[in-house]
Structure 1
Amino acid sequence: MKHFAPLLLLALAAPASAAAQDHAQHMPASAPALAPKNAFYELRTYYAAPGKFEALNARFRNHTLALFTKHGMINVAYWSQPDVTDGKLIYVLAYKDLAARDAAWAAFRADPEWQAAAAASEVGGKLTAKVESVYLTMTDYSPTLRLGQ
């Protein structure tokens, strides 16, 4: 993870790709506007269960991102780690603060749409072997991000 942090900062400071911008146009607009320097970030790493990496990506692509937005989470960026056999999905979400994060996750987990998507995608077994989460705040010298664009 220590080698990932500089890469994360570079990726977050870079402009969004055309594909990401196109995807953003199709996202619900209910996530709150935040000043990037004041946001509370969560770096999440999902270790895919053997043979489940594509299904995990499909669930995020088809359901999870829109549901995160619906519940006030800001999708900052998503990455995969190509040198890992079964795949890792690494992403960053932004919130107003820890309380907003906790409320958003509680609402997300209680959402019948999420529960149905999770159940349908896990008929053949869980998609993740392990999930890690790290909370982050920006330093005063960090480059400026453009959240929600």
Structure 2
Amino acid sequence: MTVYELRVYEAATGKMPSLEDTLRELAAPLLPEYGMRIVGLWSTADERFLYWVVEHRGTGDIDANWRGFHEDPRWKKNLAERTKGDSFVVSTQSVPLVGVTGFPPQAS
């Protein structure tokens, strides 16, 4: 079963480039090990918010997938080294998504 999740991060002032780099260089390579894949990544023009859609494969258990990822010693170590205790994120939001039947419409 595949489940999608919209994640919204409010970046700390001036930290959007660091947040993007961290997702690209540290998170993205590890996510598949926990049944996840980044489908897309967008930021607002003012570099305040980062929106990304994550695909959860297998059981589609969003909480279990993130729990495993956040407990990964490689993630913990690399994130700690990169942030040095200074978070890149002010707030986060997670929204599980389900597909809407009949979309996209099929051409006839």
TM-score category of the 2 structures, normalised to the smaller one: 0.7 to 0.9
1:121 partner amino acid: R
Residue ranges of structure 2 left out of the alignment (5+ in a row):
none
- Check the 8 A contact 2:35/2:58 in 1, yes or no: no
Aligned to 2:90: 129
Mapping of residues 1-149 of structure 1, within 5 Å:
39-82=2-45, 84=46, 86-96=47-57, 100-123=61-84, 125-143=86-104
Moved over 3 A (4+): 96-99
Q: Which of the pair has the greater relative contact order for Cα pairs under 8 Å at 6+ separation?
A: 2
- Check the 8 A contact 2:35/2:57 in 1, yes or no: no
Aligned length: 105
Residue ranges of structure 1 left out of the alignment (5+ in a row):
1-37, 145-149
Identical residues among aligned pairs (%) = 30
More strand by share: 2
Using the size of structure 1 for normalisation, the TM-score is: 0.63
Residue 143 (structure 1) shift: 2.4
Using the size of structure 2 for normalisation, the TM-score is: 0.85
